[in-house]
């Protein structure tokens, strides 16, 4: 299951290659992108980060899940051109190594600048706090996650194209600092917003910013907040005046509500990000269950050494077995949540395929992911049944 988790994003990326649908890096129309670039999507999960509570002691499953959950932070680092090298593809590997003496995350990559390495290192250190193993001489625990950033398909800024694009690039890089604007979007992705921006040579900031109606009170409030932030950004223009559209497209990796305000093509990418985070939660829950199983097995082994002498351990046996069953239930719930997002993806892709056969490969990949998760769910339910069957039972007539 962990291997499937590690390669799932690669499967979807490959399946989506060549699609006619607008991807995350193609949020604006073709006409707009010919004029002004640097308007990639922003993941609002950066403003509402996960608060990870990893099981102790650390194990590989939970660490893999935790590392994969850092995707929003890692990919955001790579939006900034100073964090990437000149190549179109940037590969990042985050490695975690924990022993009884140390606990470290290390970052290696291809086409990764020193600034990019530091950005990702700081982000992972903050998002995934780890500590050395408490048991002396314990077996080291290692985990890793890989991330691929494609200049033409992943959110990215390229400066020097034209002055309008440069201003749009500054807006996009500043969005992570504007989290107060996204405070009300803790559980859902914000709507797509479009602003008309006018720059003038005589003005050190944008001379005029006007948003199109969003269709909702929350959207209007977000537009007003973004406008106030944009008016504070410095602007440089050598011609007399330039007016252009800036399109804000938002995703939310940690959303718990459906993105009904997004067009179908963008909803697909939104669901894919949600699926990735729920897959990470499944791996973390698997790690919790593994620790609970180890704790129960240890006390069972101790009890069996001398049952007549260790009768006082019966309550501990019951408690640890109950904890094991509870962990199994949480593992099942995590898989069911992942399954729900994958079922939504399959349904959406079938809707898109009915209008465009170019979604056929995506449908195949989506159905394969759902089938694998259904198998994992059945396995988890079987293990849960076995866990409960192994719990100590009261003798008939005894309390």
The label of the residue with tokens 């067009």 reads 263
What gap in Å lies between CA 205 and CA 108, rounded to an integer?
Answer: 39
- Mean predicted confidence (pLDDT) in 314-326: 94
pLDDT for 200 beyond 70: yes
- Mean predicted confidence (pLDDT) in 330-339: 98
pLDDT for 6 beyond 50: no
Helix or strand run (H / E) with residue 115: helix 114-127
Q: What is the value of pTM for the model shown?
A: 0.88
Residue 362 CA, chain-centre distance (Å), reads 20
pLDDT for 161 beyond 70: yes
Concatenating the DSSP letter of every residue in 12-66 gives: HHHHHTT-SS--GGG-S-HHHHHH------EEGGGGS-------SS--HHHHHHH
Residue-level pLDDT at 395 = 57
Strand order in the sheet with 241-248: 208-211, 193-200, 241-248
pLDDT for 4 beyond 80: no
Residue 327 and residue 285 in contact, taking contact as beta carbons nearer than 8 Å = yes
CA distance readout (Å), 60 to 55, 95, 140, 318: 11, 11, 10, 27
What gap in Å lies between CA 33 and CA 3, rounded to an integer?
Answer: 38
Residue-level pLDDT at 310 = 76
The label of the residue with tokens 């950005």 reads 119
* Band (309; pLDDT cuts 50, 70, 90): confident
* Band (232; pLDDT cuts 50, 70, 90): very high
pLDDT for 246 beyond 60: yes
Helix or strand run (H / E) with residue 231: none
Percent of the chain scored above 70 by pLDDT?
90
* Band (291; pLDDT cuts 50, 70, 90): very high
pLDDT for 221 beyond 70: yes
pLDDT for 353 beyond 90: yes
pLDDT for 288 beyond 70: yes
- Mean predicted confidence (pLDDT) in 36-40: 93
pLDDT for 311 beyond 90: no
Of residues 149, 144, 142, 141, the one with CA closest to residue 116: 149
pLDDT for 322 beyond 60: yes
Angle at which helices 60-68 and 264-305 pack, to 10 degrees? 160
Comparing 5-14, 86-95, 121-130, which segment has the lowest mean pLDDT?
Answer: 5-14
Residue-level pLDDT at 394 = 65
Greater confidence, 325 or 23? Answer: 325
pLDDT for 27 beyond 90: no
pLDDT for 295 beyond 90: yes
What are 196's strand-pairing partners? 210, 245
Residue-level pLDDT at 167 = 97
Eight-class DSSP state of 394: P
Cβ neighbours around 292 below 10 Å, total: 23
Residue-wise pLDDT for 39-70, tens only, equals 999 999 999 999 998 998 999 999 999 999 99
Greater confidence, 241 or 5? Answer: 241
pLDDT for 140 beyond 80: yes
Q: To 10 degrees, the CA torsion angle through 189, 47, 13, 158?
A: 110
- Mean predicted confidence (pLDDT) in 196-207: 96
Residue-level pLDDT at 129 = 95
Of residues 173, 169, 224, 233, the one with CA closest to residue 206: 233
Residue-wise pLDDT for 162-174, tens only, equals 999 999 999 999 9
What gap in Å lies between CA 14 and CA 21, rounded to an integer?
Answer: 14
* Band (28; pLDDT cuts 50, 70, 90): very low
Cβ neighbours around 159 below 10 Å, total: 14
pLDDT for 281 beyond 70: yes
What are 245's strand-pairing partners? 196
Eight-class DSSP state of 206: -
Greater confidence, 399 or 359? Answer: 359
The pair of structure tokens assigned to 79 is 């939006």
């Amino acid at each position: 299951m962990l291997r499937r988790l590690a390669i799932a994003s690669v499967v979807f990326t490959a399946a989506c290659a060549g699609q006619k649908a607008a991807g995350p890096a193609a949020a604006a129309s073709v006409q707009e992108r010919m004029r002004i670039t640097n308007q990639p999507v922003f993941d609002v999960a950066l403003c509402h980060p996960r608060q990870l509570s990893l099981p102790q002691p650390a194990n590989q499953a939970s660490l893999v899940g935790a590392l994969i959950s850092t995707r929003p932070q890692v990919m955001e680092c790579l939006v900034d051109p100073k964090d990437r090298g000149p190549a179109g593809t940037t590969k990042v590997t985050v490695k975690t190594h924990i022993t009884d003496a140390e606990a470290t995350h290390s970052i290696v990559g291809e086409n990764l600048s020193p600034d990019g390495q530091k950005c990702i290192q700081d982000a992972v250190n903050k998002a995934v706090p780890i500590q050395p193993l408490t048991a002396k001489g314990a077996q080291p625990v290692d985990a890793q996650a890989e991330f691929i950033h494609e200049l033409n398909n992943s959110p990215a800024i390229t400066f020097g194209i034209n002055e309008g694009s440069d201003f749009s690039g500054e807006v996009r890089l500043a969005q992570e600092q504007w989290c107060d604007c996204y405070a009300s979007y803790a559980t859902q992705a914000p709507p797509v917003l479009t602003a008309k921006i006018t720059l003038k040579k005589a003005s050190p900031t944008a001379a005029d910013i006007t948003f199109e109606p969003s269709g909702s009170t929350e959207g209007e409030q977000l537009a007003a907040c973004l406008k106030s932030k944009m008016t504070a950004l410095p602007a440089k223009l050598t011609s007399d005046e330039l007016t252009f559209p800036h399109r804000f497209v938002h995703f939310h990796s940690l959303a718990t509500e459906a993105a009904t305000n997004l067009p179908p093509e963008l909803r697909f990418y939104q669901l894919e990000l949600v699926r990735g985070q729920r897959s990470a939660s499944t791996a973390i829950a698997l790690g919790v269950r593994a620790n609970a199983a180890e704790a129960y097995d240890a006390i069972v082994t101790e009890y069996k050494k001398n049952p007549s002498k260790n009768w006082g351990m019966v309550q501990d046996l019951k408690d640890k077995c109950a904890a094991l069953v509870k962990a199994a239930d949480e593992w099942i719930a995590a898989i069911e949540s992942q399954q729900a997002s994958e079922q939504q993806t399959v349904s959406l892709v079938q809707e898109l395929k009915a209008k465009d056969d170019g979604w056929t490969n995506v449908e195949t990949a989506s159905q394969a992911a759902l089938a694998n998760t259904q198998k994992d769910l059945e396995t988890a339910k079987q293990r849960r049944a076995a866990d409960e069957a192994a719990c100590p039972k009261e003798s008939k007539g005894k309390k």
